């Protein structure tokens, strides 16, 4: 029996599907998982100016000796999402025909595309967020988590032991100027993770949100006043530096362990203590 179980485990192929795989937390996590032996499936949206950098990331992943397949498409578009899911299903069918048992062992939702505008304009020349912008931000950064997980589940791509993660931030519990639309989306994303964790628990699938500390990434640099945001985070973080994408990637690899089956429905801080307090007084 032990030999049969070992053989079954040996046939099982671990794949990671990462939304937002070409930069920031997504790219760092892809590298860390590839180094740990996961095949990588990445979804990203890069136009001419950044497409070459995305391809460089993909080639770097292949350098770890694992397959790396990227889809340059809009992850928030329903038809395009289903096209990606169908492509993954076809790839896995080929692997099963070869005697393997592929499944998505890790799923990471790391989509950072939204509007950063105030709810209430303080002056006539200040722009307010529109209903369309508010709904778009929530759809991309929160609701798409539900749609992706649901499609993957019904396609039979998830399985016992799958670990699902979504990137959130302390903006879900703090008010930051112009960050309201994203803050609301992050709060919704955390709620979605809790509900998905409850509904997927009978299938051996865990779901957790990762609350990263403030990091210097392409997405965070798009936030108005990001320099001040970085400064305040640095002043508060008792670890004495900003969070790095690699810090989060290392945590996700650890949290993906089969031994952590009892950890689900949580928002897990990976921030060096940033949220809890301030730097120790060295005086």
Structural domain of residue 93, as residue ranges? 13-270
Per the CB < 8 A criterion, the answer to whether 118 and 129 are in contact is yes
When mean pLDDT is compared across 21-25, 103-107, 156-160, 278-282, the lowest value belongs to 278-282
Q: Establish if 32 belongs to a structural domain.
A: yes
How much is the mean pLDDT over the chain? 92
DSSP annotation of 140 reads I
**Residue 155 CB neighbours (<10 A):** 15
Question: Is the pLDDT at 227 greater than 90, yes or no?
Answer: no
- 207 part of a folded domain: yes
> Whats the size of the chain, residue-wise?
283
Query: b/e per residue, 48-63, with b = 16+ CB within 10 A?
Result: eeeeeebeebbeebee
Q: Is residue 5 scored above 90 in pLDDT?
A: no
Flag whether 276 is in a domain: no
Q: At 120, phi and psi to the nearest 5?
A: -120, 120
Residue 134 belongs to a domain: yes
Please report whether residue 225 resides in a domain: yes
Examine the pLDDT at 145 and tell me if it is beyond 70.
Answer: yes
pLDDT score recorded for residue 3: 45
Residue 219: pLDDT band (50, 70, 90) is confident
The confidence score (pLDDT) of residue 36 equals 98
Give the residue-averaged pLDDT of 210-237: 84
Where residue 188 sits, what CATH number does that domain have? 3.40.50.720
Close Cβ partners of 270 (under 8 Å, ≥ 6 residues apart) = 210, 211, 212, 213, 243, 247, 248, 251
Residue 278 within any structural domain of the chain: no
Determine, yes or no, domain membership for 1: no
What pLDDT shows up at residue 173?
87
Measured CA to CA, the distance from residue 186 to residue 169 in angstroms comes to 7
Instruction: Look at 116 and 223; give whichever has higher pLDDT.
Output: 116
Instruction: With H, G, I as helix, E, B as strand and everything else as coil, classify residue 46.
Output: coil
Nearest to 143 by CA among 88, 195, 107, 65: 195
- Look at residue 148 and tell me whether its pLDDT is greater than 70: yes
Element holding 173 (H helix, E strand): none
196 falls within a domain? yes
Q: How much is the pTM?
A: 0.92
Tell me what percent of the residues of the chain surpass a pLDDT of 90. 74
Question: CA-to-CA distance for 274 and 235, rounded, in angstroms?
Answer: 9
Q: How many structural domains compose the chain?
A: 1
pLDDT surpasses 70 at 281: no
**Distance, CA of 142 to CA of 254 (rounded, Å):** 24
Sorting pLDDT into bands at 50, 70 and 90, what band is 96? very high
Residue range 250-278: average pLDDT?
A: 93
Beta carbons within 10 angstroms of residue 260's beta carbon = 13
């Amino acid at each position: 029996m032990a030999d049969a179980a070992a053989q079954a485990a040996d046939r099982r192929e671990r794949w990671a599907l990462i939304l937002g795989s070409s930069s920031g937390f997504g790219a760092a996590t892809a590298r860390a998982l590839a180094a740990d032996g996961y095949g990588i499936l990445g979804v990203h949206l890069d136009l001419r100016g950044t497409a070459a950098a995305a391809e460089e990331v993909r080639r770097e992943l292949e350098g770890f000796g694992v397959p790396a397949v990227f889809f340059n498409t809009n992850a928030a578009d329903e038809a395009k999402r289903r096209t990606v899911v169908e492509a993954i299903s076809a790839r896995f069918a080929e692997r099963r025909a070869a005697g393997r048992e592929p499944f998505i062992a890790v799923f990471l939702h790391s989509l950072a595309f939204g509007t950063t505008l105030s709810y209430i304009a303080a002056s006539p020349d200040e722009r307010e967020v529109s209903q369309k912008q508010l709904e778009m931000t929530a759809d991309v950064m929160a609701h798409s988590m539900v749609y992706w997980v649901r499609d993957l589940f019904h396609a039979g791509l998830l399985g016992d032991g799958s670990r699902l993660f979504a990137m959130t931030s302390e903006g879900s519990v703090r008010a930051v100027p112009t960050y309201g639309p994203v803050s609301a989306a992050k709060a919704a994303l955390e709620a979605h993770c809790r509900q998905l964790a409850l509904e997927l628990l009978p299938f051996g699938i865990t779901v957790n949100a990762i609350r990263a500390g403030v990091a210097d990434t392409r997405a965070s640099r798009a936030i108005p006043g990001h320099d001040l945001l970085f400064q305040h985070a640095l002043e508060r973080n008792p670890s004495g530096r900003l969070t790095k994408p690699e810090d989060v990637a290392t945590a996700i690899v650890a949290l993906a362990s089969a031994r952590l089956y009892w950890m689900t429905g949580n928002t897990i801080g990976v921030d060096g203590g940033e949220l809890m307090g301030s730097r120790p007084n060295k005086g």
